[in-house]
Amino acid sequence: MRYLMLIKHTEDYRNKTIPPALMDAMGEFVGEKMKSGIIIDTKGLKPSSQAKKVQIRGGQLHIVDGPFTESKEIVGGYAFVEVASDKEALDLATEFMELHRIHWPEFEGESELRPVQTGESGSE
């Protein structure tokens, strides 16, 4: 089963220094999971000040330049993963967030897991 794991937090975390211990722990975690084939791809995202949205409002397309100050949370990063079960996906997200809890206790955010529709039986 494939999942998109979204890491969400407020925009102000962009201005904070990530503790080196967290960077080391994430590097080890990601490296291990990529070698095993669980993590297919992962990256942090640039600030919303460098982003754009294409919206439909009232039947019209509108382009909105970032930053998106009206957003309470932004997607700060993602991981595209392949696991055997919902439980394994949840365990992976929990382990990743636990790294943040341990190495950056002030951090507040969340990891959202979204199953990916593949067109295969049972993926809808």
Count CA atoms within 13 Å of residue 78 on its CB side: 10
User: Strand 109-115's sheet: what is its strand order?
Assistant: 39-44, 74-82, 2-9, 109-115
Q: State how far the Cα of 121 lies from the Cα of 35, in Å rounded to an integer.
A: 28
Q: What was the pLDDT predicted at 24?
A: 97
Q: Any idea which of 9-13, 34-38, 85-89, 90-94 has the lowest mean pLDDT?
A: 9-13
Q: How many domains does the chain have?
A: 1
Looking at the domain assignment, is residue 22 inside a domain?
Answer: yes
Looking at the domain assignment, is residue 120 inside a domain?
Answer: no
Q: Which domain holds residue 18?
A: 2-115
CATH number for the domain that contains residue 102:
3.30.70.1060
Q: State how far the Cα of 15 lies from the Cα of 9, in Å rounded to an integer.
A: 12
Q: Any idea which of 33-37, 67-71, 113-117 has the lowest mean pLDDT?
A: 67-71
Q: What was the pLDDT predicted at 118?
A: 79
Looking at the domain assignment, is residue 81 inside a domain?
Answer: yes
Q: What was the pLDDT predicted at 122?
A: 54
Looking at the domain assignment, is residue 24 inside a domain?
Answer: yes
Q: Which amino acid is at 115?
A: P
Looking at the domain assignment, is residue 122 inside a domain?
Answer: no
Q: What was the pLDDT predicted at 123?
A: 47
Which is more confident, 43 or 47? 43
Q: Any idea which of 8-12, 100-104, 117-121 has the lowest mean pLDDT?
A: 117-121
